[in-house]
Structure 1
């Protein structure tokens, strides 16, 4: 993420934080992200730093006149910023939409955990992954499939986010998109999410010791999302956002092979 995009996103998050978004606000921002992505002309205009703030407000008002007051204000605030690229603007509006959806969720909700669970379900079913990832699939049909499969099994907030992601892949694998959305949710709720890959399930004691170590390092109690992968052989691999702690046997063997080959 470029420095311009980072600053622009921070401004958008501040604009969202100054208001009280509803679930509908989030859905509207996600729909706006899809609309912007689908139009190269609209994407270029809203991301063009030479277009004045007044003109961008007029564009938003004309194209997105049905947005509620909060969604409209946040979208304008985002468009007025300088983004590193038009694609970054789309990513930014999507993140703001996800944050708005989560802001309306009950405090007891664990949307990031639900997104991880959906990610595991998709990863375990190649036919499902193809159905929701195919470029040839109708976006509305893919969203309807998500509703059918997950409504009532995860929160409405999680369903909204997943339905958006399958409609707007933008070159991303669905598992990667779900992982990124989970990180956004964790950031929005001030939670630390650690994806742990191990050869076999971790015992309760192992999870407690790992949680304590990560909390000491990051200052927040983590949520552990454990993935079982026999390919790691032994040890564990921990990923928190862009940080990776790889203590797996597979990684050490690979390092040894590289040393021997060198």
Structure 2
């Protein structure tokens, strides 16, 4: 959890620069990628983080460090964001990397806005999350920080590489495992879904069934969950024949699994426990 100084720094910086980042349009793709790269560099270089967050060090010195690191190579908006961040006070040195990552995700969202694919990316992330719920071994491997990042990324690409996913979805999914940042893979994907949902002003409700939902069912679920969460919702219908029947509903981190396969698994555990 971020301290008060970091929360203030993050909020003021984002209030100031998010509109400018949004206005970069298609360039937001490049900026987002650059900020993800900087996040990775900071996460693996504590001395650099300290140099950029030391409150006793003049801001001009910190900007000089930035110029050595990315000056002349990065997009001007990337440099403006970083210059703003190093000029603020942080509760912990690692909090600046969190702020850089947040701006990186914002860049990806604004690029999706510029290309009219924001909802598509949000749905694809939710489908990825839903699919991984039933793949515990793969989830564990994607979250294994003892394995090289290249190996985790290769594993992810073996799962989604041939799929027709939006490039923003692929980049965010790759970022989630390329730099784990002390998080589990599924946790990061859910965080990304939540950020997109807030950005769109609605909540994502992923409903997994063995057969496609009918329009009447979608309307009913939309009404139920709009009332439940207190804001507009989007029903993301995922078809997975392996659940056999019933319905699994996920809203944020909360999962209600009433599928036939879940009931069978519960029955099996009960029988084994009583044997």
Common topology (TM > 0.5) = yes
Q: Distance in 1 between matches of 2:192 and 2:81?
A: 19
Q: Within 5 Å, give how 1:1-262 maps onto structure 2.
A: 1-2=1-2, 3-14=4-15, 15-19=17-21, 20=24, 21-65=27-71, 66-105=73-112, 106-109=115-118, 110-151=120-161, 152-194=163-205, 204-205=215-216, 207-215=218-226, 220-224=231-235, 239-240=251-252
TM-score by length of 2: 0.72
Could you tell me which runs of 5 or more consecutive residues in structure 1 were left unpaired when the two chains were aligned.
229-233, 249-262
What is the CA distance between 1:187 and its match in structure 2?
2.6
**Which position in structure 1 is the counterpart of 2:262?**
none
Q: Distance in 2 between matches of 1:55 and 1:100?
A: 27
TM-score by length of 1: 0.76
Q: 1:239 to 1:79 in 2, by over 3 A?
A: farther
Q: Distance in 2 between matches of 1:130 and 1:218?
A: 30
Q: Deviations over 1:128-148 (max 9, x none)?
A: 223322122111232233334
Q: 1:86 to 1:185 in 2, by over 3 A?
A: farther
**Which position in structure 1 is the counterpart of 2:268?**
none
Q: Distance in 1 between matches of 2:56 and 2:224?
A: 48
Q: Secondary structure at the match of 1:86?
A: coil
Deviates further, 166-175 or 179-188: 179-188
Q: Distance in 1 between matches of 2:247 and 2:159?
A: 34
Could you tell me whether the CA contact under 8 Å between 2:36 and 2:175 is conserved in 1? Answer: yes
Number of aligned pairs? 244
RMSD: 3.6
Could you tell me whether the CA contact under 8 Å between 2:190 and 2:252 is conserved in 1? Answer: no
